[in-house]
Each structure stands twice: as structure tokens, then as C-alpha cells.
Amino acid sequence: MESQSRSRILILMIASILTVIVVATQSVLADDVYENIKLTPDRTISPAEERSMARSAAHVLRYIADARSAIAANDIAKARSDLQRSLNLIDILKLQQPTVKVRDHIWVARKHLDYESAEEVAKDLVPIEADLTEIEGFVPVEKARRHIRSADAYLKKGDKAGARKELEAADAALIYTEVDLPLSGTERQIIAAQKALDNQQLAKADKALKQAENGVRILSVAVGAPIIQARNSIWQASKDFAARDYAAAKANLAKASAWLDKAAQSTDKTTREEAMKLKHSLEGLKRQMNMTAQGAGAGLSRLWQRSQALVERESEKASATWGKLRGESATKKALIEAKLHLAYAQTAQFVKGKSEEVSNELNQAQNYLDKAAETSNKALKAKIHAITDELKQIKANLHDKSRKALARYDKVKEDLLQAIHDL
């Protein structure tokens, strides 16, 4: 039985590897930052994956448009067929995300709960922990990791039901902003359209599909947005720097600089301003590397962290614009800005920043939380107040570079991400 079980896992691991290749890089943080905590990029979408996602998104749009045309012609059977095809393509898009490998392993563990002993299932958690470590620089994983460790605790007590709930929660906690936000919204609207068709509510189905189209367009734009391309080039520069290929690192920073010039032409004021700040920091880093590579690691890590925060904001902002149709834009936008400044504060606190900078960023995050609370409902307002309490703990320890302090930041960011995703 154990041999068969291991074989099944091996087959699934091979399938996962064929679906998406996870790239890990070495830490480029300066030695004097803090022990072995990583804040460096580990996974991004490759150009080939980006092209594949863009093609899939275009086909999803085509099927939705075909469905709307079929609805207009009162051809309900064809509309249903087109919508099912669009959902199938969305499933393919999901398989192109950095989180797919860990989700496959979580799926295996959940299946094994049906017929393996608790001791055997506990062995399945080992590769899950490794998967989370591989993507922790790119996807928030602390919440998922807590659920996996809780599942392990339940398994040690022989409580399979408790372990199953924790594994399900771990899977739900893995949110990859650039793809999950537009995909989840699109999928919800397509499913809503299917239900409306079942009830012969053609106008309602068409309205849902119109919103679904907006979500796919957001995804199509997001994967190729200038700020995302800049982030990707900085990520590649991080890999080059870790490999001591400083010429390649500088070349990729030059590419990032060109993309930041394009991002600086955005119609969004914050994107323009932050892109120019990144460009200024990047040019300073390039000059430093021309003289000596020594000490550039922390600057490169800081640059990547801030670019990643901007990428997440870009994707979240696009979903908030779409959210205007549902009347939730103001609250969502305020939460997005709070998360951006919280990420900036974390980078400043852990990667050669100054305490005044940390304090200023945290104050801005707090201001946006206050704005979000003003326009939120009772349930969300309670969550925002809880986040504010966590923020106060961070503000009381601006010089703390311990793992506990980092985990506190991660938890607040995860709480904000979940709130944004749920709106």
C-alpha cells in the first residue's frame, strides 16, 4: 500500500512539473539585515507562460462573446456550451499559476485522507512545506503554512476531519493576486450566467457575462502591464546577481528601467509617481554596481520588494475599477492603498530602511484603513479594526527585525489581501 501511495504522489508530482516549472533563487539580502529570513523573489510568470495565458484569456473572451450572441439569438443550448468551454479554459489558466504545485500536493493529501492512515497522510505534508518555501517570496504563504501545521497537529491526534478542514483552508489561503482576482470574478459571473440561463432569465445572464468580459480584459492587460514587466526584469536581475553575473544583472536592470519609463506614462497618479521613484532607485543601484557589486544586494532586494508591491496594487486596482459596477470601489481602493504602504513599511524595516520611513509608511497605511472603515459594512469594519490593532503592534516595534516581527507584517498583509479578494 505504501509503495502504491508513493507512486501516485510521484505521478502527480511529474504532472505538476510538466504543467509549471517553479524557479527558486538564492537570497540577495545584505548580511547585516537579519538571520535567514528571505524577502527575495522565487517565482514569476515566464514569457512563455505569459503568452499562453494571454491566448487563453483571449479564447475565454471569445467564448463569452459567443455565448452573449447565442443568448441574443435565443439559442440557449449553444450559450450553455460556450460558457462551459470558457470555464474549461479558466481551469487551464489556473494551472499556469505559481501556486499550482502546492495545490496539487494539498489535493493529494486530501484524497489520501479517504483511505490512508493519519501517519501516512502526515508524510504528504512534507512536500507541501517545501512548496510553500519555494513560492514564499512571491505569494503570501504564512496563512497557508499555519493551516498546514494545524493539519499536522490534527493528524498526530488521529483527527482526520480536523486535518481535512485545515487542508481546505490552506488551499483557499493561497491567493496569487495577478491572476486570482480577475479569474475568480470572471468565474463567479459565468456561473451566475449559467444559473440565470437555467431559470430562463436571459437579460440577467447577459448582464453577468458583460461583467465577466471585464474580468478577462483585466487579466489580459495585467499579465503584460509595464510595471509587471519591470518587476519581472528586476526579478531576473536578482537571479543574475545571486549567480555573480553582474553584467547580466545590469542588463536586466536596464530593461526594467525602460519598462518603468512606460509605467510612468500611466493614467494612474500613484503608478506614475511610484514608477519614477523606482526608476530613480534603480539608476542609483546601476551606478553602484558600475563601481562595485559589494553592498548592492540589499538595494536590489528593496527594489524588487517595492516593485512587487506595485504589481499587486496594479492588479487589485484593476479589480476595484471593475468593482464600481458592484458599488464597492471606495472601500476596496482604500484597502489596496493601505496594503501598498504596509508593504513599503515592511521593506523599509527589513531591508536597510530608516525608522522614520517605516513610521511614515505605517501612518499612511493607517490613514487608508480609516478611510476604508468609513465606507465599509459592519462585518468588514470589525475586520479593519482588528487589522488596525495589529498595525499598532508593528508601530510599537519599528526596529524589530525578528522572525516574529516579520510574521506580524505577513499576517496583516494576508488579512488585507483576503479582505480585498472578498470584496
pLDDT, tens digit, 9 for 90 and up, residues 371-404 = 999 988 888 999 999 999 999 989 988 888 888 8
CA distances, 90 to each of 81, 177, 212, 271 (Å): 14, 15, 12, 29
User: Looking at the 3D structure of the chain, how many domains does it have?
Assistant: 2
Domain boundary among 185, 219, 253: 219
Same domain, yes or no: 21 and 122: yes
Q: Does residue 296 fall inside a structural domain? A: yes
Same domain, yes or no: 202 and 322: no
**Whether 261 contacts 228, CB under 8 Å:** no
Q: Does residue 113 fall inside a structural domain? A: yes
Q: Does residue 42 fall inside a structural domain? A: no
Same domain, yes or no: 203 and 87: yes
- Report the mean per-residue pLDDT for the chain: 79
Same domain, yes or no: 166 and 242: no
CA gap 84, 216 in Å, rounded: 15
Least confident of 45-59, 226-240, 271-285, 406-420: 45-59
Neighbours of 59 (CB within 10 A): 17
Is the pLDDT at 74 greater than 50? The verdict is yes
As a whole number, mean pLDDT of residues 189-205 equals: 93
Q: Does residue 138 fall inside a structural domain? A: yes
Domain, as residue range, for 417: 227-422
As a whole number, mean pLDDT of residues 326-334 equals: 72
| pLDDT in the model for residue 153 | 94
Same domain, yes or no: 203 and 254: no
Q: Does residue 41 fall inside a structural domain? A: no
Q: Which amino acid, residue 397?
A: N
Is the pLDDT at 225 greater than 80? The verdict is no
Phi/psi of residue 214, nearest 5 degrees: -60, -40
Q: Does residue 43 fall inside a structural domain? A: no
Least confident of 13-27, 243-257, 311-325: 13-27
CA gap 22, 101 in Å, rounded: 8
Same domain, yes or no: 232 and 201: no
| pLDDT in the model for residue 399 | 86
Query: Is the model more confident about 64 or about 35?
Result: 64
Domain boundary among 170, 191, 219: 219
**Whether 341 contacts 274, CB under 8 Å:** no
CA gap 325, 408 in Å, rounded: 34
Closest CA to 251 of 219, 212, 223, 290: 290
Same domain, yes or no: 284 and 390: yes
Same domain, yes or no: 325 and 189: no
Q: Taking the mean position of all CA atoms in its chain, how far away is CA 189? A: 21
Same domain, yes or no: 285 and 167: no
Q: Does residue 401 fall inside a structural domain? A: yes
Same domain, yes or no: 294 and 386: yes
Closest CA to 99 of 172, 2, 202, 193: 172
- Give the total residue count for the chain: 423
Q: What percent of the chain has pLDDT over 70?
A: 78
Domain boundary among 192, 219, 246: 219
Is the pLDDT at 52 greater than 80? The verdict is no
Same domain, yes or no: 208 and 234: no
| pLDDT in the model for residue 3 | 44
Same domain, yes or no: 205 and 260: no
